[in-house]
Amino acid sequence: MTIPPSLPSTLFSELKTKIEEQRARVGVIGLGYVGLPLALLYSEQRFPVTGFDIDQHKVSTLQAAGSYIFRIPPTEIHSARAHGFSATTDYSHLGDMDAIIICVPTPLNEYHDPDLSYITNTAKAVAPHLRAGHLVILESTTYPGTTEEVLLPILEKENKRMLTVSRGSSTDQQHFFVAFSPEREDPGNQSVARRDIPKVVGGLDSKASDLAAALYGSIFNRIVRVSSPAAAEMTKLLENIYRCVNIALVNELKLLSLRMGIDIWEVIAAAATKPFGFQPFYPGPGLGGHCIPVDPFYLSWKAREWDFRTRFIELAGEINTRMPYHVLEFVAKALNQQKKALNGAKVLVLGVAYKKDIDDLRESPSLTIIELLQNEGAQVSYNDPYFPTVGKGRKYDLQMKCTPLENLDQYDCVLIVTDHSDYDYERIVRESQLVVDTRNATRGISSPKIVRC
């Protein structure tokens, strides 16, 4: 419901006007792969934008007009800085903002349960600076109920002005507004402009939805309003579970096709010609990235509260998690064909990023595959144009340096895990003794040296 213009000015209508006139001060918390591009989009539209992060290195880099994300050139930061964009670790500036968008991580903990500590820590840091009329939007992917059951109680309990969230109240003087809006970015995908990706918004009441829709409406072409934050949270999970389950399906069919001597890639290409009812998904060496391997388990965890088992998610997780082990078996088998053992073999892994043409290592199957190969005694090197080194992460500690793509015949096996566009696959096949290809990157090249798995 939109407030009719005849009503007296309220904090709601003041903020709405500020947003429409692009004067609203936007604070983005968490300047990672999601938050930084979002902050830059608002800055491009000449909104006054401040980015908040606990990582001093990121803040200093941005303040010096530098970038730490490969696909965001420093020129973009420079231009945003010229238009007033700044970054800080100091939450006290939040009081100066009109809208606060939270883009912090939502990983799984060691027991594979949701780790909401980033959201709760952020909520605790935001609360003391909250004032009436503030709009707070959560963008982090999470289970349905997080905004209302986790974020909101902290904001209400720990703010200093006894403010409560707006729930359709007629006056705004003691209220702030809360919404959830999932991020739908697809890193590396150049086919859809960010602006053209419809933005789903679910406010806690219609005022919050109106404000969030107005705010996103200034940078996205289409806003899709849903009835609640929980519906918006569930929408994001449905999208990612859909991908996770379909990738698992095609991974399983690939394993069967390999046994049957059928080329699954040929089959998918043929099936994809059907003009309705089929969307192609592609097999690979295992899931990667911050989203698809992680998000479905947020829902599985929440489902337990309702005495419900999400069997599709569990089965898909089981199949997808096995894929790096399948790659290991195939490398061993391919070497065996050449009368070589995996133990002691020199293996060059091409690509450590979790997907092609991006600089993101999170949950990358390459890291698992490298560890599995090392555990079997292989001497593993890697090459990735996006990563000069691979150090220590949450689940790995590899301490490796990128090897130049030279003297490929010194390796017993070259293993393609990430099909970066920069690679010259003809040359790689020509110069290598054996190529194991997990991505069909060598399609169209015919050679007995290639083993597709």
Applying CB under 6 A, which residues contact ligand NAD? Answer: 29-35, 52-55, 58, 103-106, 118, 121-122, 125, 139-141, 183, 185, 187, 290-291
- For ligand NAD, which residue has the nearest CB? 32
**Active site amino acids:** 291
Q: How far apart are CA 372 and CA 147, in angstroms?
A: 39
Minimum Å gap between C-beta 73 and ligand NAD is 18
Q: How far apart are CA 288 and CA 230, in angstroms?
A: 26
Minimum Å gap between C-beta 224 and ligand NAD is 16
Q: How far apart are CA 288 and CA 153, in angstroms?
A: 33
Query: What is the SS3 assignment for 164-213?
Result: EECCCCCCCCCEEEEEECCCCCCCCCCCCCHHHCCEEEEECCHHHHHHHH
Q: Which residues contact 434 (CB under 8 A, 6 or more apart)?
A: 334, 335, 338, 412, 413, 414, 449, 451
Please, which residue, 175 or 243, has the CB nearer to ligand NAD?
Answer: 243
Q: How far apart are CA 306 and CA 62, in angstroms?
A: 44
Please, which residue, 57 or 311, has the CB nearer to ligand NAD?
Answer: 57
105 closest CA partner among 90, 125, 120, 124 = 120
Please, which residue, 284 or 372, has the CB nearer to ligand NAD?
Answer: 284
Q: How far apart are CA 55 and CA 63, in angstroms?
A: 13
Please, which residue, 117 or 173, has the CB nearer to ligand NAD?
Answer: 117
Minimum Å gap between C-beta 29 and ligand NAD is 5
Q: How far apart are CA 72 and CA 65, in angstroms?
A: 11
Please, which residue, 125 or 400, has the CB nearer to ligand NAD?
Answer: 125
